[in-house]
Chains A and B, each alone.
Chain A
Amino acid sequence: MTALRNDLIYLVVFAVAVLAMPIWLAPFGAAYPDLMQKFAIYGIFAIGFNILFGMTGYLSFGHAAFLGVGSYAAVWSFKLLSMNVIPAIALAVLVSGLFAAAIGYISLRRSGIYFSILTLAFAQMSYNLAYSVFTPITNGETGLQLALNDPRVIDRALFADAPGIPRPNLFGIELGGYEAFYLCAVILILCFFVAMRIDRSPFGMMLKAIKSNQTRMAYTGFNTRPYTLSAFIISGIYAGIAGGLLAVTDPLAGAERMQWTASGEVVLMTILGGVGTLVGPVIGAVVIKYFENIFSAFHMAKLEDIFSFLPDGLESFVVSIVSPFVGEGWHLTLGIMFMLIVVFLPGGLMEGARRIRARFGGGRGTGSKAHSSNPAPAE
């Protein structure tokens, strides 16, 4: 049972690292609740995406649709039922799960690039419709917001009306910055635990076998469609939870969350961290959201401040070199980082860590496990 003990240690370390974010992120200037909430939420999104892409090999280019649907569902729950987050998340799970079941049922009839295009097509349809015909549900470009006169039937039945628009709460605990972060963190840990169970289960083994050789699975006696569909629905639900939590931290849902660039972003996170690993996608999500928020906030004055220890001439030279890559141009950094990862480190940051560990004689990491079949090009 050593494997089981290792998993337990893995889980505990992960949980501690997540809950202690406010401490260890402080030196990086990232220990403020808004950003840490995003780390946790997009971590959930990426873990779920990896259950589909990492385990079965099906590359969905439309996962943001489930994120968006989860957000709308949660906001509607706030509006109609209660400001309590439990029904909101439950509704997000239900709606995104049903939505994923419908889209997955059709898209999974095809594999490879055709599957990617089908999911992309569905997501784009959802996005376009959210802006047009479904405006009564989505409130179009303005986005779905809370209003003073929302019904909130459960809340109104139980409590007296407080003045102003209420904030989401958990049985009376109002979810401000840190409270909301810890809620997201706990859900992230739960989601991580579930993903770990799936990864270690026979079901997970079947998913990986499907990725490895789907035709063989049929001749081995498996009906592969329900397996891939289950994986699709589970990963859609993860996206729905993430979308619901986005609405918890900021009760506003807009269609831009469903755009295909948002779907691309979760692919980036997963690849960057390490496809097929458990913690990799979370790391990818943290790195990308960190860059997005911290890097993009850099500007000339700040850069000059950072490099002020250099001699004058050198300082302005370094600043002029660095400045295109930060602030407005942080996407450039992202694109370059991304290409470098795909070209030289197909296993993502997790494989990088394994390689480093292997080089410095650190125990079990051999690096041979992942991607030995497609090595980086030799230049």
Chain B
Amino acid sequence: MKQKERCKIIRQERIGTDIYSLWLQTGAIAQAAQPGQFVMLYGTDRSRLLPRPISICQTDGAALRLVYRVAGEGTREFSYLELGHELEVLGPLGNGFPIQEAKGKQVLLLGGGIGIPPMLETAAALGNQATAVLGYRNELFLKEEFEAFCPVSVATEDGSSGVKGNVLDAVREGNLSADMLFACGPLPMLRAVKAYAQEMQIPCWISMEERMACGIGACLGCVCDSTQEDAHLHVHRKRVCKDGPVFLSTEVKL
């Protein structure tokens, strides 16, 4: 039977305003993890019942790296935890990006804001097949780490680094082309990326975010709208936690 794993914190640091990088000691989860999957992280304050879904940023065999943003009290609690403290983790969960399908193809990795972290493991898996385009408000994080794996373009909303604008502005300005798009970021960005992919007729995979309770497909809390009737649910919805979080952009309505 699968179960939650208790994982020791081996490193935690603040890498941006409200952005934290957390390394957890876990052989099983790290080895099973695929780029684009996520884990459920359980807090210790029993007044907060629900685990937080956090995307997997990096693995190194015996450890798992999660880069998350403090968005409320639950994630704030994680940010206070010190070395040696143990956290309960369930995962890896969800489907991840289609790395096999990308074999021999050039892939643009489009990450916006806190959608950037899952793209790092994806960049590591694709290596020189990938070009990363990272969109920030103004403050950069993880950029140098992407550069270890693939070429990187940057866009910032205020123009303080790279291209002024969003990830698609950087794609256009850099004349970046690819056979496939992998994207993760805020909903307006995903909408724009989906439209761009349609215009360019490139297959596009997007990673969605939604509030979750169970994380394993049972509660139907985290559904998104789908263009076709889902084969399992028999309605025009898909479960972000179980059928996703990564979907072909044409499968989902944004």
Q: Are A and B associated in one complex?
A: no
